[in-house]
Amino acid sequence: MMSPGERAHELHALLHRYAHRYYVLDDPEVSDAEYDRLFRELQALEAEHPALLTPDSPTQRVGGAVLDGFTKVRHAVPMLSIRTETDVEDTGAANFDARVRRELGLKEGDAPVTYTAELKFDGLAINLRYENGQLVQAATRGDGEVGEDVTQNIRGIGQIPLRLPAGCPPVLEVRGEAYMKRADFDALNERQREKIAAGQKNEKTYVNPRNAAAGAVRQLDPAISRQRPLSFFAYGWGEVTPVERGGPDFQTQFKALLTLKSWGFPVASRTQTCVGASELVAFHRAVGAERPGLGYDIDGVVYKVDSLALQKQLGFVTREPRWAVAHKYAAQEEQTTVLAIEVQVGRTGKLTPVAKLAPVFVGGTTVSNATLHNEDEVRRKDVRVGDTVVIRRAGDVIPEVVATLLEKRPEGAPLFSMPRHCPVCGSDAVREEGEADYRCTGGLFCGAQRKEAILHFAGRRAVEIEGLGDKLVEQMVDAGIVRTLPDLYRLGFTALVNLERMAEKSAQNLVSSLQKSKQTTLPRFLFGLGIRHVGEATAKDLARHFGGLDRIMDASVEQLLEVPDVGPIVADSLHTFFQQPHNREVVEQLRACGLSWAEGEPAERATLPLAGQTFVITGTLPTLDRDAAKDLLEAAGAKVAGSVSKKTSYLVAGEAAGSKLDKARELGVTVLDEAGMLAMLGRTNGDVG
């Protein structure tokens, strides 16, 4: 039988191999379930035998405390930028080849120069440092001389090896690009939109994959960084142990990249050698044609003299290598006419002006719509119906209006004005202070927001209608049997069972779940209404302060501002919401359908016992789940945060508390178990259940 150490070593090797096959070769060797089983086995071994936990363990891709800031890293070899060729036509490649030949003193009859041609990725440059085969540091490019230590976040990228195979140099720095695939970017933005729709504060969607990737790499909380899936391509190196001390004998750029690939680093398959200017031109054209289907963003290609000896001979000028150039692609632009400017309403209520265009072929597709983003953008670009405009579509970016050709504007073209009422439901459209977007305030009534409003209302932390998920809501709304929230409670068994793929038992379960959800609490109901900026904690504060829903609906802005932690933005949002007749009507209909909750008198001005205290909950508590513990603490006036900081008053720790417990001890935060927390609340374990 193997010893724990031998088994851990075996699991290391298996998991590293499986991860390489999955992330780098895109050729999985085992099922996800089998990988997870082995991963959990290794975790258990390391927990039982802490000495077996090493920095290169596959389990160390996850975890890590929230950082206070990034440590500066001075690069052993500067990460220099390369020159950009401003001529985006074929002549750009020919001009570079001519410069190289001139610098090398080659005559017309001499042999052509061989180059390595690569893709110019649109991500964030990263330097990976390995010592004795283990990843010890990852740093951003920074200013080229000094970057930032982002090791914890980079460890989460599955394509990056934590440990190198035998035979690698003692010191190896690999340089490449952290980027986000378009599919991962779209999925990330979809999740962000769901969070925004659920009322989570400080959430946003991302403009493009490059910005999302850069934000993930430079995120102080590794747990958040891991929610933004990143990928990596290697394209070069920094410090490497020299040949005379056992380092690799790199002689050409291309063979060096193949060596990096053999050591487990992903290298883009569209990397090749090109002989002479004609093959550089062919590469530039071919990649340009393939660009829309690559699955990730590039903004050009890169040419490098292949021979490292010739690179050394060519040297640098103004800190840029003479032996390399970035050859970009022209922005894909065309002219067309604005036929109309329509305002679309997103599922979270955002109003977006969209230019309806005379169809034009640009960027590999026919474009008939272009976003104008918001009213300020329309005014800045002065776009009007009838204008001739320049449209740009670079890669898979949403087409946008770049400029208006004023000399072609027809007489009398009217200024655009953003409607002050929702074009879908007629509710007021408001623009909060400091924001660029107008939003519809008829969230419970607006057809554009219908599906999102229903899903939020039915959520686990809101009214909770078990069994009512995305697909079913989409079916019911598309079939026209649910138009507003009260329609849910008017559904009968017959209407449900007639839906496609709805079995009798499922229909009956949903009817029962709807009936059960009628008994709720005022905070849950308030949160379920989806009022902008009103999250769970604010809903609880409002219910505690006013005692009843009618008092909240009738409150003035000034009265709302008396609620703890309710500021002007939240107060205005609440007041505007309940001033909309549509929203009040939906609330009254929900009450008429039987939704009810306990109400009481407004809370006294006396301070709640835990007011001003911030708690963090971690690990598994003996009798309470995390949500129940959070509810108890918030009912006593405490705030419950997600991470430990200097502002944390108490950490409530259960079994397998992990890094938050370490952080709390480091900061001197008082640590409580469940019993200690309940004692502060004046309760015992027998009081909850």
Alpha carbons 83 and 101: distance in angstroms, whole number: 17
Alpha-carbon distance values, 473 to 266, 452, 465, 510 (Å): 42, 9, 11, 12
**CATH homologous superfamily, domain 4-61:** Helix hairpin bin (1.10.287.610)
- CATH class in words for 83-328: alpha beta
User: Architecture of 337-408 per CATH?
Assistant: Beta Barrel (2.40)
pLDDT in tens, 75-122: 999 988 888 887 888 999 999 999 999 999 999 999 999 999 999 998
- The pLDDT value given to residue 63: 42
Instruction: Write down the domain spans for the chain.
Output: 4-61, 83-328, 337-408, 441-605, 614-687
CATH superfamily of 614-687: BRCT domain (3.40.50.10190)
Catalytic residues: 120
Q: What pLDDT score was predicted for residue 66?
A: 42
Please tell me the predicted confidence (pLDDT) of residue 237.
96
Enumerate residue ranges in the chain where pLDDT < 70: 22-28, 31-33, 36, 60-68, 207, 318, 331-332, 363-365, 394-397, 603-607, 684-689
So what's the pLDDT on residue 213?
86
Which CATH fold would you assign to the domain 441-605?
A: DNA polymerase; domain 1 (1.10.150)
User: How far lies 369's CA from each of 271, 321, 359, in Å?
Assistant: 35, 42, 8
Q: What is the Cα–Cα distance from 292 to 271, expressed in whole angstroms? A: 17
Q: Position of tokens 């298996």?
A: 14
Dihedral (Cα; 196, 201, 206, 207), 10-degree rounding: 100
Sign of CA dihedral 484, 485, 490, 496: positive
* Run of H or E including 640: strand 639-641
Q: Where are the extended beta strands (E) located within 45-200?
A: 72-74, 83-85, 114-121, 124-131, 134-140, 146-148, 171-179
